[in-house]
Each structure stands twice: as C-alpha cells, then as structure tokens.
Amino acid sequence: MTTKLALNSDNYYSQEANREYFSVSQFKSMMQCEAAVMAKLNGEYTEPYSNALTVGSYTHAAFESDAAFNSFCEQEREAIFKNRGGKYADFEQADRMIETLKNDEFAMFALTGEKEQIFTGHLFGADWKIKVDNMNLEQGFFSDLKTTQSLSKRFWSDKYQKYVSFVESFDYVLQMAIYREIIKQSTGYELSPYIVVVTKENPSDKAILHFDESRFEFELDYVETYLPSMIKTKQGLANPKRCEKCSYCRNTKKLSKTFEIGMLLDE
C-alpha cells in the first residue's frame, strides 16, 4: 500500500504533491487543458511569469501575518519595488485594497481564524488537498480572500450557459463546495463558507459573500462528472486532451491540415 505524501507549508505546492493529489486549481486547469497540466507535472513545461499572481499572493500575505508579508516582500523584492524607490503601480493598488479591508471591522472579522490551514480528503475516486485562507471553528465558518475588477461585472459562462458574476466565472462556488466537503471529512464540522472580496477600482469596493447551499450540489455533480477522465490522464491511462489555445498548446502545436476561415471564430 502506497503511503501518501504528508503535506505541509513547504511541500504543499511541490510537483510531488501535485502528482499525488488533486486540488481545485488543478481541476480547473485540467478543464481548460489537460495537456498543459500534464506537461507541468512531468517537468516539461513552466508557465510564463504572471504579475497578477504575484500581486494576488502579496495581498493574501498581508492578511496572513506580518512575518509572512515581510518574508514575501523580501522574496519578491525585484517584482514589487522599483530601482529608484517606491513600489510598482500594481502593488500600490494592492496596498490601497489591503487598507480598504483593514479599515472595515466586519471585513476583518470575516478574515479572522487560523491561517493557511492544510487538509486532505477523498472525493469521487481521488485524493484532494486544500489550503484554507481562514478557518474559524469557534464561529463555524471559513473564508477566502478574493480580488476582482468590479463586483457587478458580468461574464459569459459556457458551464452555466448564461452571464454570471466573477464568483461563478472563476469557479469560486466550486472551490467552496470542495473545501466544505474536505473540511467536514477532516474535522467533522460542516462550516459555512464566505468570500471576502475587494475590487481593483480606485477607491476600492468591497463585499462579504455567502452562498445558498443549493449551489453546492450542482458543483459537486460537475466535479464528479469530469473527474474520472482526469484521473485516467494523471495515471497515464489516457492521452491528455489539448485545448490548442493556451501558451503550452501554441508552443507545441504541429500543423497537419488547413482550416476554412469560418473556423477562426469558433469557440
């Protein structure tokens, strides 16, 4: 019997952990392009640097602890600070967003709890790992910090076949459904999930979002439907599907036929 890797803050994002466990981000990435995910897991491909991800991590670190924030700033000093002093515009904007939340008593209450808690569990034939921003067992909730362009911006969703908010568009409902299930497996408590969101506008808008529990059943059914083929792909029992749109597919594309121009606008 194979022993699963025991996860901690040092190895949670490691290749070994990503090979052994599914995560919400990995599931979402495989829905977009299995080939790119498998290439990353096999060490054949590295995603291009994303400043947006660095800004997101910077914002999260600010609410983890002073030590975590200072450590992150030191680690990412070249990305955050200009040679002539001061911070780049994206990080100055992040500072305004951070202050917007820190100056709101209710928002800060929603972000109280144990930080960056790691749990593992088993769902639909696969082992999963999650890392929870804030978990408050005493108050019966967990919360996740998100940033977005605008609270009211609409996105078309093929998944839902309608226009949706950023919460559905970026599969945050799915994330909360999986997190709630894994937390319940690990602790025995069914906690209420909340999203604390702050916008990139100036001045920033903010909100604390809760979920009608009926939303979670659809998300779990969705994962259960698509996960089996992903499991086979990770086990090497099926060829990974290519999207032919992402940076990995563009970089490795081999032409073998022509296309009629009408295909250029097909989704």
* Residue 58: partners with Cβ closer than 8 Å, 6 or more residues away: 72, 73, 76, 80, 91, 94
Rounded Cα distance between 262 and 112, Å, is 53
* Per-residue model confidence as pLDDT tens digits over 130-161: 999 999 999 999 999 999 999 999 999 999 99
Predicted confidence (pLDDT) at residue 1 exceeds the cutoff of 60: no
54 in a structural domain: no
- Residue 99: Cβ within 10 Å count: 14
Domain limits at 209? 15-48+104-265
**What is the chain's mean pLDDT, rounded?**
94
**Domain-located, residue 260:** yes
For residue 224, give the CATH number of its domain.
3.90.320.10
Give me the DSSP letters along the chain. -PPPPPP-TTTTTSHHHHHH-B-HHHHHHHHH-HHHHHHHHTTS--PPP-HHHHHHHHHHHHHH-HHHHHHHHHHTHHHHB-TTSSB-HHHHHHHHHHHHHHT-HHHHHHT-SEEEEEEEEEETTEEEEEEEEEEETTTTEEEEEEEES-TT--EEETTTTEEE-HHHHTTHHHHHHHHHHHHHHHHS--PEEEEEEEESSSSPPEEEE---THHHHHHHHHHHHHHHHHHHHHTTSSPPPP-SSSHHHHHH----S---GGGGG--
Specify if 84 maps to a domain. Answer: no
pLDDT band with cut points at 50, 70 and 90 for residue 257:
very high
The span from the first CA to the last CA of the chain, in angstroms, equals 44
**pTM across the whole model:** 0.92
Could you read off the pLDDT of 199-254 as tens digits, one per residue? 999 999 999 999 999 999 999 999 999 999 999 999 999 999 999 999 999 999 99
The predicted-structure confidence for 115-134, as pLDDT tens digits, reads as follows 999 999 999 999 999 999 99
Does residue 4 form part of some domain? no
Query: Is residue 76, in this structure, part of any structural domain at all?
Result: no
pLDDT surpassing 70 at residue 84: yes
Whether residue 179 is contained in a domain is answered as yes
pLDDT digits (tens, 9 = 90+) for 46-61: 988 889 899 999 999 9
Give yes or no for a cis peptide into 203 (omega within 30° of 0): yes
Total number of domains in the chain? 1
Helix H or strand E encompassing 114:
strand 114-123
Q: Can you tell me the mean pLDDT for 248-266?
A: 90
> Would 167 be classed as within a structural domain?
yes
Is residue 92 a part of any domain in this protein?
A: no
> Model confidence at 3, in pLDDT bands (50, 70, 90)?
low
Q: Within a 13 Å sphere around the CA of 167, how many CA atoms are in the beta-carbon half?
A: 20
